[in-house]
Amino acid sequence: MKKNRPVNLDIGTIRLPITAYVSILHRVSGVVLVGGILLLLWMLDISLRSEEEFNSIRVSLEQPIYKVILWAILAALAYHLVMGLRHLIMDFGLGETLEGGKLGARLALFLAAVLIILSGVWIWL
């Protein structure tokens, strides 16, 4: 085999399609959730300890910093869930063509954006 044959697998030099960005973000949101789930379990722990500690979560969530952190976790969860659903749908053979994949990615991105906005509304209103 020729040692100096041309190779172009440097992903940084290739213009990526929407499906690639959607996939990379699926990975990023998954890694974020590995940390986020610890915070959610911590909240569950506190919420079940006693009435006082249960109410302390409501008080803590008045602070903007906690609202932002919770929103970030819910955003990652919403995005990851929608993209996972897209995978399940594609496992059944829907949206597997190049155009179908791009359309599915756009629809999933739109649905994820709606859910992320709604979770923000839920936290701030």
Partner 1 sequence: MALVTAVTSLGRSGLADWLIQRVTAVVMAAYTIFIVAYLLLNPELSYAQWAELFSQTWMRIFSFAVVLSIVAHGWIGMWVVLTDYITTRLIGGSALFLRTSVLAIYLVINFAFIIWAIEIIWGY
Cβ contacts of 58-66, under 8 Å, gap ≥ 24? 61/123
Q: Does 30 engage in binding with partner 1 (CB under 8 A)?
A: yes
Q: Does 122 engage in binding with partner 1 (CB under 8 A)?
A: yes
Least distance in angstroms from the C-beta of 93 to partner 1: 15
Closest CA to 37 of 71, 73, 69: 73
48 or 99: CB nearest partner 1: 48
Least distance in angstroms from the C-beta of 76 to partner 1: 12
Closest CA to 60 of 51, 73, 75, 70: 70
- How far apart CA 24 and CA 46 sit, in angstroms, is 34
Residues that bind partner 1 (CB under 8 A): 27, 30-31, 33-34, 37-38, 41, 44-45, 47-51, 54-55, 77, 81, 84-85, 87-88, 91, 122
